[in-house]
Amino acid sequence: MNVGRLELEELYAEYVAALDKERFEDWTGFFTDDCLYRIVPRENADRGLPIAVMHCESKGYLLDRVLAIRKTAVYAPRYIRRMMSNVRVLGWKDDLLAVRARYAAFETLRDELTRVFSVGEHRDRIAVVDGRLRFREKLVVFDSELVPNSLIYPL
C-alpha cells in the first residue's frame, strides 16, 4: 500500500472539482460506505468538543445530505470555489493513511464580488478500496467561532 504524494494531490484535485461543479452524488463516491464526515469549528476540534456543523456517519448519510441540498431551493444561487494545498502525509495506522491538507473556499453570490467563505484544514484517514483511495474519515476544521449561516454545501 504505497501511496505517493502525487496520487494524493490528484485525489484532492478531483475532490474539489466534484464539489465546485455541484456533482454532489459523485462527491459521495470519494468515501467508504462506513465513512465518518464532519465539519467542526477549530476551537471545538482543539478542545475535543463533539459539536459539529455537519455530521454524517455513513455514505447513506452523505446521500441524504445531498438529497436535502437538491430538494431545498431557498438558497440564493452562489458559486463556491475550493482550493486545497500543502498536503502532509502523517503515516499509516491500522490500514488507514492519515493525511492533512489545508483549504480555502471562496463564495460568489450573484451580482456580488467574490469573498473568502471559509479556510481551514482537512484531517483525513484514507483507505484503499479495490485499489482506489477513499475517505474513511474526513474531519473538516474551519477557522472561525462563527458558524457560517450559509454552510449549505460540503467542504
Smallest gap from residue 121 Cβ to a second copy (A): 8
Alpha carbon distance 125, 26 (integer Å):
19
Least distance to a second copy, CB of residue 113, Å? 6
First to last CA, the chain: 27
Cell of 38: 464532519
Q: Phi and psi for 140 in degrees, rounded to 5?
A: -95, 115
Partnered with residue 112 across adjacent β-strands are none
- Using CB under 8 A as the binding rule, whether residue 119 contacts a second copy is answered as yes
Which of 69, 102, 128, 151 is the binder for a second copy (CB under 8 A)? 102
What SS3 class is residue 80?
A: strand
Single residue of 55, 81, 128, 151 touching a second copy by CB under 8 A:
81
Residues lying near a second copy in the complex (CB under 8 A) are found at 5-6, 9-10, 12-14, 16-17, 20, 42, 79, 81, 83-88, 100, 102, 104, 106, 108, 110-121, 143-146, 148
